[in-house]
Structure 1
Amino acid sequence: MHKAGAASKRTCLSAAMGVIVALVWIAPVLAEPCADPLKPMLRAELFFGRSIGHRFGVSDRQWQSYVDRELAPRFPGGFTVVDGKGQWREGDAILREASKVVILVAPDSAELRTRLAAARQAYIKRFKQKSVGLVTQAVCAAF
């Protein structure tokens, strides 16, 4: 083996070991449990557009019906609804849309994620939407 090749290999191994040591050192900080009384939870934010096509289409009454029939039964622990104004770019056009943002915090589970997916699909189907945005984040929370 060439001296240059051996030195290069040692440099790569040293760098890899440095990364491993850093990860081992940082991992406990990232995985710290929640301070009492907080508990590990999942925060989910759902973004519901209120337009159908290029016109305003989901009325307040229709939205409340969706909340009563789809969201409340799936998330009996509660949630918050906030009015929003979405904006995005499609090609050269800037599009804007009235929206509703639903925020909920609950213990994370496969069942919760299934309920989130079902709530999104129900809205997409009912109001002919392209999508319903979903953002999730692990948090510490207490209620």
Structure 2
Amino acid sequence: MIRIGATILGALALAGCATTPKAGVCPPGQTQIRTAQLFLTASRQLSDEEVRRFVDQEVTPRFPKGVTVLDSGPPVVGGDAVIVPGSPKVLMIVLPRKGDSYARIEAVRAAYRAKFGHGSVVVLPPAACVAH
């Protein structure tokens, strides 16, 4: 899982559309955003419909500014040294500019665990400046 997270974060950093803000100030034409990335795994391959319903019911109401779902690629070795079937999904969530989003992120994780019986990994990268 960590390898996937590092790969995705590396790709985002190299994309050229985001920069790390200096002291919270972005260059002209850019806006500062914060994101959370949730790496979702399950004991079985989740259908696109199951993921869409989960996002619609649990994620979007908590984070209405933006959610993107990505396929992370081929199976990976989980923390318990077993191969995870299917391709884990990655949710990229745009966090509100103000306030603490931790409780809402944890609520999403708890809902995912309750619905699919499996955990998730959360990565909270630093804020970035993005072109708009």
Question: Highest Rg: 1 or 2?
Answer: 1
Instruction: Give the match for residue 117 of structure 2.
Output: 128
Q: Which runs of 5+ in 2 are unaligned?
A: 1-20
Return the alpha-carbon distance in structure 1 between the equivalents of residues 46 and 130 of structure 2: 32
Q: Which runs of 5+ in 1 are unaligned?
A: 1-28
Following TM superposition, the consecutive aligned residue runs of length 4 or more in structure 1 with deviations greater than 6 angstroms are none
Percent of pairs identical after alignment?
A: 30
- Which one of the candidate residues 53, 72, 75 is aligned to 1:84? 72
- Map 1:44-83 onto structure 2 (within 5 A): 44-49=36-41, 51-52=42-43, 56=44, 58-83=46-71
Q: Which has the higher strand share?
A: 1
Return the alpha-carbon distance in structure 1 between the equivalents of residues 79 and 24 of structure 2: 41
TM-score (norm. length: structure 1)? 0.62
- 1:43 partnered with 2:35: yes
Q: Which has the higher helix share?
A: 1
Q: Provide the alpha-carbon RMSD of the alignment.
A: 2.5
- Contact 1:45–1:135 (Cα < 8 Å) also in 2: yes
Q: Which has the higher contact order (CA 8 A, sep 6+)?
A: 2
- 1:119 partnered with 2:115: no
- 1:89 Cα deviation from its structure 2 partner: 5.4
TM-score (norm. length: structure 2)? 0.67
SS at match of 2:36: strand
